[in-house]
Structure 1
Amino acid sequence: MIPLLVCDDSNMARKQLIRALPADWPVSISQAANGQEALAAIRQGLGQVMLLDLTMPVMDGYQTLAALREEGLQSRVVVVSGDVQEEAVRRVKELGALAFLKKPADPEALRATLAELGLLDLAPAAPADAPPAANPQQAVLDSLKVNFRDALREVTNVAMGRAAALLAKVLGVFVQLPVPQVNLFEVSELHMALNDAQRGQRLSAACQGFIGDGIAGEALLLFHDAEVSDVARLLKWQPRDDSETSEMLLDLASILIGACLSGIAEQIDVRFSQGHPMLLGQHASIERLIHLNQKRWKKTLAVEISYSLEGDHIHFDLLLLFTEDSVRRLTHKINYLMS
């Protein structure tokens, strides 16, 4: 049996990946939720082959690959990630990864990659008269419990990676990705969370409504005013007035929000109709923005993504706010993915 290590912070992602493994591949499967756990497992001989995520807490995939090299640990690594930026692929291969697959891994693409790398041939051949081996994946799959929050976080993780790849091309930068946060907020809690996150900074915000298949909400993209000139520089845009600045911000919002919503819609098999992005306010504090729009924000399922650009003091906070009425339908769609 080949010691296979699946490293991802999401139970949902690990379940999808283990389900995609070739059923006839004789592996003993271990799991890790971050790079630190993965290194400990590899030191114990549990990771001759490792399928590795990039965006994780504690120690991410890049740090894990660097640590493997530094310690001289032997593991044949295939990265499976939602961060599909061209620079991400280049970096992981430079750090020693053998291949890169995008999430969610397609079973045929995974088998082809494993075969091309010779990883399917690592185990000794079974004797001709040996009985058929049991599917090694099924017991692990049965033990993996996935809750709604974890599943939605993973769906968002894949979607935000696609949006980041598009943003990276537009701005010519490398986008650093966080682990998305998923919370069900009362309106007062949402206000407090936003206030705490921004700490009085001056903001401009773009909003874009979406609806489809019983799921509706608004995407809110927050720009920090102090960083707008740096964004313009990356875009090679020189706004002459507030009107042109607004146009620039709306274009950027359309890219990020549109790509993220499209990624989510594709995974849960819905088709979102999107409104035109609108500026909620410019040069306003978050308190003012909340006051102007509090009637639209009641109890909400909030998904928070904070993009930052490497080498620049620029970040965007993207909030996907699903209406309370949408939660049941969204839960149904997510449950179908988990089954």
Structure 2
Amino acid sequence: MHKLRNVLICDDSPVVHKAMAKYLSHYSELSLHYAEDGEQAIECLVNNQIDVLFLDLTMPVMDGFEVLQRLPVSKHETHVIVLSADVQKEAIERCLALGANSFLSKPFNQPQLATALSKVGVRFTPPQPAQVKTAVPSQGVKPAALAPSQYVASFKEVANIALGRGAAIISDHFGDFIKMPVPNVAMLSAAELVMAINDIKHQSEIVAIAQRFVGGGIHGEALICLQGKDIARFGHRLGFSQIDEYKNEVVIDIANLMVSSFLVSLSEQMNIPFSVRQPIVLEDYMAWGDIHCEKNDYFTVEYRYQAEVLDVQCDVLFMMDQNSTSVIKRIMETLH
């Protein structure tokens, strides 16, 4: 076993950076380096003798799979621990085949982190007991309020974990790899939402489905857009069949799976049970105003699932009203 000196945390989530810094703060003589994407990680590895790289898979610019394909980039031995929400069986197998030493799924805790490090032969030198300060929470003190950017970042990490588990569910049904999306979490104005819906309406190659959901004071609607020549094949491989040629059973079933797989994991993390309505296909003759747009801003989560081996793409936009935003913010303050 060797002593740990330099650790690189490569993840586009500031929440993960903060958590890792907290988990590793109890160990002395440790230098932490940070990267928000694969390109920054490669640059850091070239310029520093990194002992352990914690590597996320889903990142902008260059993802974790591309980083693994580029390694090694120096003569210094670097142990790679993949730290990802993408828990598809094939994703884990690909990482190990590309040279990763270990795989740690999000969310994780400090004992799991210590176990992963021990597997790569890393020895920590803990500080003296007197040097470690333990915070004692005061009774009756509420969690500190998060700034808007902080609770959005926190929810993005929660959404990322939910999407990873959702991708694993879909991959298990599909029997092949699903490209894991990077979620976009943001506030969207009513005007921007109307523009997005109008843009979808005028794209004839897109099949749009709407599905409402509710739970724990959160009210929202998901807009699912399917396109590609292999939608029917994709549905068939998921186990869905078309009984009536004049109906859209397959696209409705696909949409329902995309939404429910995300909400199930979100429910577990936020401790909120969600219920969903039956999805409906938005036809040209229908009043798209059913996706009602008030004057307030909306809290949105947007992501895209793609099958690696078929021509099919599924874009999902979750929209939650202003009252839901306060509920989400309160839960994020509790979690973080």
Q: Normalising TM by the smaller chain, what interval?
A: 0.7 to 0.9
User: How big is the shift at 1:196?
Assistant: 4.4
Tell me which amino acid in the other structure corresponds to 2:280: L
- Distance of 2:51 and 2:324 partners within structure 1: 44
User: How big is the shift at 1:226?
Assistant: 4.2
Tell me which amino acid in the other structure corresponds to 1:160: L
- Distance of 1:198 and 1:53 partners within structure 2: 36
Identify the range of structure 1 (220-229 vs 99-108) with the bigger mean alpha-carbon deviation: 220-229
- Distance of 1:260 and 1:236 partners within structure 2: 19
**Residue aligning to 1:313:** 311
Identify the range of structure 1 (164-173 vs 177-186) with the bigger mean alpha-carbon deviation: 177-186
**Which residues in structure 2 correspond to 1:27-38 (within 5 Å)?**
27-38=30-41
Choose the corresponding residue for 1:323, options 310, 314, 321.
321
- Distance of 2:222 and 2:273 partners within structure 1: 12
- Distance of 2:111 and 2:155 partners within structure 1: 25
Tell me which amino acid in the other structure corresponds to 2:290: N
**Residue aligning to 1:141:** none
2:95 paired with 1:92: yes
Label 1:20 to 1:205 Cα distance change in 2 as closer, same or farther (>3 A): farther
Contact 2:235 2:254 in 1 (8 A): no
**Residue aligning to 1:165:** 168
Label 1:132 to 1:214 Cα distance change in 2 as closer, same or farther (>3 A): same
Tell me which amino acid in the other structure corresponds to 1:190: L
User: How big is the shift at 1:107?
Assistant: 1.9
Label 1:80 to 1:131 Cα distance change in 2 as closer, same or farther (>3 A): closer
Contact 2:208 2:223 in 1 (8 A): yes
2:265 paired with 1:263: yes
Tell me which amino acid in the other structure corresponds to 1:9: D
2:242 paired with 1:239: yes
State the identity as a percent: 29
Tell me which amino acid in the other structure corresponds to 1:92: C
For residues 258-288 of structure 1, what are the alpha-carbon distances to aligned partners after superposition, in whole Å with 9 as ceiling and x for unaligned? 12112222223x3233123321324x4xxx6
Contact 1:210 1:272 in 2 (8 A): no
User: How big is the shift at 1:187?
Assistant: 2.3
For residues 231-261 of structure 1, what are the alpha-carbon distances to aligned partners after superposition, in whole Å with 9 as ceiling and x for unaligned? 2343465524346x53333332332211211
**Which residues in structure 2 correspond to 1:147-166 (within 5 Å)?**
147-166=150-169
**Which residues in structure 2 correspond to 1:130-279 (within 5 Å)?**
134=131, 147-196=150-199, 200-224=203-227, 226-235=229-238, 239-242=242-245, 246-268=248-270, 270-279=271-280
Contact 2:182 2:303 in 1 (8 A): yes
Contact 2:7 2:32 in 1 (8 A): yes
For residues 129-159 of structure 1, what are the alpha-carbon distances to aligned partners after superposition, in whole Å with 9 as ceiling and x for unaligned? x9558569x9xxxxxx962222222111111
For residues 175-215 of structure 1, what are the alpha-carbon distances to aligned partners after superposition, in whole Å with 9 as ceiling and x for unaligned? 11221112222222112234446861343333332222222
SS at match of 1:330: helix
- Distance of 1:290 and 1:88 partners within structure 2: 41
SS at match of 2:282: strand
**Residue aligning to 2:57:** 54
- Distance of 1:290 and 1:306 partners within structure 2: 25
- Distance of 1:194 and 1:210 partners within structure 2: 19
- Distance of 2:159 and 2:332 partners within structure 1: 11
Contact 1:21 1:110 in 2 (8 A): no
SS at match of 2:99: coil
Tell me how many residue pairs correspond in the alignment: 319
**Residue aligning to 2:290:** 293
* Structure 1 unmatched runs, 5+: 139-144
User: How big is the shift at 1:317?
Assistant: 0.9
User: How big is the shift at 1:10?
Assistant: 0.8
**Which residues in structure 2 correspond to 1:2-151 (within 5 Å)?**
2-21=5-24, 23-24=26-27, 26-69=29-72, 74-119=77-122, 121=123, 134=131, 147-151=150-154
Structure that is richer in helix per residue: 1
TM-score (norm 1): 0.83
- Distance of 1:156 and 1:74 partners within structure 2: 34
- Distance of 1:199 and 1:28 partners within structure 2: 53
RMSD: 2.9
TM-score (norm 2): 0.84
- Distance of 1:295 and 1:107 partners within structure 2: 44
- Distance of 1:106 and 1:300 partners within structure 2: 32
Identify the range of structure 1 (197-206 vs 24-33) with the bigger mean alpha-carbon deviation: 197-206
SS at match of 2:59: coil
